[in-house]
């Protein structure tokens, strides 16, 4: 039987109120700072549940950390993520879906699934970057 606990709700809300992708760790830290005595293990479990129910999306950051985000659109879609501020735009990509299927079957592959994510700098961060470029890095 599936039970409703405030912890699960807290995780769901924390995820929903966040624009970009967040790691389980930072989500946990954030919740504690808001006063929740929620445990780390519980956050992981809740995130895994949400992800498997399709209410959240997960991806691996380049550093190997797992990132989660609440999905507004149910169903399959991809993401455009700012690598500086984490802002995320959901993108539907029928073209890409079809391309993936076609490429897979051309090579005899079945049951194709794909990872398609675009990382970049959002408009805001591009501007910031340009501004800070005058000060030489490191």
Partner DNA sequence: CTGCTTTTGAGTATCATTATCAATAAGCGC
Partner DNA sequence: GCGCTTATTGATAATGATACTCAAAAGCAG
Interface with a second copy by CB under 8 A: which residues? 60, 62, 64-66, 80, 82, 89, 91, 93, 95-96, 99-100, 103-104, 107-123, 126
Q: Closest approach of Cβ 100 to DNA, in Å?
A: 25
When the beta carbons of 3 and 107 are compared against DNA, the nearer one is 3
When the beta carbons of 11 and 88 are compared against a second copy, the nearer one is 88
Cα dihedral: 104, 108, 112, 118 (round 10): -20
Which residues in 48-67 contact DNA (CB under 7 A)?
Answer: 48, 64-66
8, 25, 40, 42, 123 from 2: Cα distances, Å: 11, 25, 20, 15, 43
Which residues in 11-50 contact DNA (CB under 7 A)?
Answer: 23-25, 37-42, 44-46, 48
Cα dihedral: 65, 69, 74, 77 (round 10): -50
Angstrom distance (rounded) from CA 80 to CA 76: 14
* Residue ranges binding DNA (CB under 7 A): 1-8, 23-25, 37-42, 44-46, 48, 64-66
């Amino acid at each position: 039987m599936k039970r409703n606990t405030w912890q699960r709700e807290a995780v769901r809300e924390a995820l929903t109120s966040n624009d970009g992708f967040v790691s389980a760790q930072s989500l946990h830290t954030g919740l504690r700072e808001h006063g929740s005595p929620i445990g780390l293990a519980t956050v992981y479990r809740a995130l895994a549940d949400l992800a498997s129910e399709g209410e959240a999306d997960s991806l691996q950051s380049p550093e190997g950390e797992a990132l989660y985000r609440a999905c507004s659109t149910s169903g399959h879609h991809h993401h455009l993520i700012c690598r500086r501020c984490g802002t995320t735009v959901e993108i539907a990509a029928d073209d890409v879906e079809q391309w993936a299927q076609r490429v897979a079957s051309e090579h005899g592959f079945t049951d194709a699934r794909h990872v398609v994510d675009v990382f970049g700098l959002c408009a805001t961060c591009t501007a910031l970057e340009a501004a800070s470029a005058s000060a030489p890095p490191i």
